[in-house]
């Protein structure tokens, strides 16, 4: 009879995911291999393939399990404040090891459409939906113009993060950058009377 503790299968899975994320940090997705993960984790390749069909699926689960991807979804009286909180959290996560792994997945994914598709479904789309939900709430409570095109604003907000992540012309954690970015975008999103008052 097995003593207390986690099942060996769970321990092995955790070891594989730990090793996978370490290798992604060190080498990126292009040089990421199942063989390397097996050697680092002390697990047989057959065990890894039993749980994941290929390196893309394993890399994505390692990213989701270890990276700082979970940004709390705030729900305060101010949708504008909540947008700032979510976007600031994403920028902070992209500024560190998580960002390096994400950048390698996005870049390598240009030649690996299935992996890029999973990344979009598992990482990008849930974050974009958080922004959509906050903006829609802002439209309902009068913080944003009723005719505001939500998808366009989400694209602009999210796109700037990826520009800095992938091109690296300026750091994601540059002091004050996110506030300036949001303020500029919201100039066209706030109800017109409020925009006029803010300009005074």
Each residue's pLDDT expressed in tens, for the chain with a length of 200 residues? 444 555 778 899 999 999 999 999 888 888 899 999 999 999 999 999 999 988 888 988 898 887 655 566 788 889 999 998 888 888 888 888 888 889 988 888 888 888 888 888 888 898 889 899 999 999 999 999 999 999 999 999 989 999 999 998 889 989 989 889 888 888 877 776 544 444 44
CB 43 within 8 A of CB 16: yes
Count of structural domains, the chain: 2
Please check whether residues 56 and 126 belong to one and the same domain: no
Q: What is the pLDDT of residue 117?
A: 87
Please check whether residues 92 and 152 belong to one and the same domain: yes
User: What is the Cα–Cα distance from 103 to 35, expressed in whole angstroms?
Assistant: 22
Please check whether residues 126 and 87 belong to one and the same domain: yes
Domain end marker among 66, 94, 113: 66
Q: What is the pLDDT of residue 4?
A: 53
Please check whether residues 87 and 45 belong to one and the same domain: no
Please check whether residues 62 and 90 belong to one and the same domain: no
Q: What is the pLDDT of residue 52?
A: 92
Q: What is the pLDDT of residue 200?
A: 43
Please check whether residues 90 and 184 belong to one and the same domain: yes
b/e 86-101 (16+ beta carbons within 10 angstroms → b): bbbbbbbbbbeebbbb
User: What is the Cα–Cα distance from 28 to 172, expressed in whole angstroms?
Assistant: 19
Q: What DSSP designation does 110 have?
A: G
List phi, psi (to 5°) of 190: -75, 155
Please check whether residues 183 and 85 belong to one and the same domain: yes
CA 97 from centre of chain: 12
Does some domain include residue 197?
Answer: no
Please check whether residues 131 and 97 belong to one and the same domain: yes
162 contact partners, CB below 8 Å, separation of at least 6: 106
Q: What is the pLDDT of residue 193?
A: 55
Phi-psi region of 181 (alpha: psi -120 to 50; beta: other; left: phi over 0): alpha
Residue span of the structural domain in which 36 resides: 8-66
Q: What DSSP designation does 173 have?
A: T
Please check whether residues 61 and 87 belong to one and the same domain: no
Please check whether residues 30 and 105 belong to one and the same domain: no
């Amino acid at each position: 009879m097995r003593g207390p503790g986690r099942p060996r299968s769970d321990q092995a899975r955790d070891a594989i995911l730990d090793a996978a994320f370490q290798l992604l940090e060190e080498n990126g997705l292009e040089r990421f291999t199942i063989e390397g993960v097996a050697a680092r984790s002390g697990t047989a390749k057959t065990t890894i393939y039993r749980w994941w069909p290929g390196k893309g699926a394993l890399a994505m689960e390692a990213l989701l399990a270890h990276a700082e991807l979970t940004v709390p979804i705030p729900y305060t009286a101010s949708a504008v404040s909540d947008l700032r909180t979510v976007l600031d959290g994403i920028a902070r996560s992209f500024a560190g090891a998580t960002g390096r792994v994400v950048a390698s997945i996005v870049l390598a994914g240009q030649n690996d459409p299935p992996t890029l598709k999973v990344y979009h479904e598992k990482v990008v789309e849930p974050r974009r939906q958080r922004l959509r939900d906050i903006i829609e709430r802002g439209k309902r409570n009068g913080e944003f113009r009723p005719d505001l095109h939500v998808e366009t604003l989400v694209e602009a907000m999210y796109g700037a993060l990826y520009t800095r992540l992938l091109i690296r012309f300026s750091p994601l954690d540059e002091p004050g950058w996110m506030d300036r970015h949001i303020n500029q975008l919201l100039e066209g999103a706030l109800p017109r009377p409020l925009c006029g008052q803010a300009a005074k």
